[in-house]
Structure 1
Amino acid sequence: MDVFEIVKAKVPSEQLPSDDVLALYVAETGQAIKNFCNIQSVPSELVFTHAEMTIDAISADQRRRLLSSTGETPNSVKSVKEGDVQVTFEGSKPGLGEAEVENLLFNYNSQLLRFRKVRW
């Protein structure tokens, strides 16, 4: 089984994006795995982890889109000023941001560390 088949089997059809969009999610999470592990390709032993990360990415993006459609955009903090306590928020961006990818990597850290290579 490959990542596409696993994702299509696990995600309900009404929540499943088109094949082109699904390919982008798979490629993005695969690239995150390769960058984190310092490897050239995703090992076959990580196929289920890769699929779960893709499903989590799809779910996070759908939650973000749902919140933004209702007017409740989850903005991240851009800056904090301590003197008179001032907090500045940045606008939400389309697609998976750096924070979302970092959260995905953190959630699967224990599985990915086994395949991580040291870079000199």
Structure 2
Amino acid sequence: MENDVLNLVKLRLGLKDDKLDDVIKSYIYEIKFKILNYCHIKTIPGDLMYLWATMTMDIVRVDQAYLDEISDTMSDNVKSINLGDTSVSFGASNEVTSTSKKSIDDIVLNYGKELRNFRKVKRS
């Protein structure tokens, strides 16, 4: 299923060549590991494929924002979005301010509501 996730991520990001495949695959496997641990499951069900791809896209955009291929996938027109108490800002930067581990953990927690539907009781 990892190849399906890779193809979906590349399609959604508009990546035409295989230049970033190894980088994207590394995030696919790391997100897979985080999903398995969070949900206390041994395999990822097919129903999670699209969420898995979306989570992978998020971490690629955060962690690899300095790459031209990735920064080109982010909107230059939108600078800030305010929805109630939530504020999201976009801007050009060649610097990533968060570490991979923290970013991945944050992404998993951001998708916790959807992942909880697949979460099992942890057995000792």
RMSD: 2.3
Please tell me whether the aligned partners of residues 67 and 74 of structure 1 are also in contact (alpha carbons under 8 angstroms): no
Please tell me whether the aligned partners of residues 7 and 55 of structure 1 are also in contact (alpha carbons under 8 angstroms): yes
Residue of structure 2 aligned with 1:114, choices 109, 113, 117? 117
Residues 116, 64 of structure 1: alpha-carbon distance in 2 compared, 3 angstrom cutoff: farther
Residue of structure 2 aligned with 1:20, choices 19, 22, 27? 22
Identity percentage of aligned residues: 31
In 1: Cα distance, 2:10 partner to 2:66 partner: 21
In 2: Cα distance, 1:38 partner to 1:64 partner: 34
In 2: Cα distance, 1:22 partner to 1:64 partner: 14
Give the greater-gyration-radius structure (CA). 1
**Runs of 4+ off more than 6 Å:** none
Q: Is the aligned partner of 1:74 residue 2:74?
A: no
Instruction: Report the counterpart of residue 29 of structure 1 in structure 2.
Output: 31
Instruction: Report the counterpart of residue 103 of structure 2 in structure 1.
Output: 100
Instruction: Report the counterpart of residue 38 of structure 1 in structure 2.
Output: 40
Runs (5+) with no aligned partner, structure 2: 68-92
User: Deviations for 1:52-98, whole angstroms, at most 9, x for unmatched residues?
Assistant: 00000100102377443xxxx636xxxxxxxxxxxxxxxxx5xx22x
Residue of structure 2 aligned with 1:63, choices 62, 65, 68? 65
Aligned-partner residue type, residue 102 of structure 1: D
Aligned residues: 95
Which of 22-31 and 47-56 deviates more?
Answer: 22-31
Residues 64, 36 of structure 1: alpha-carbon distance in 2 compared, 3 angstrom cutoff: farther
Q: After TM superposition, give the deviation of residue 116 of structure 1 in Å.
A: 0.5
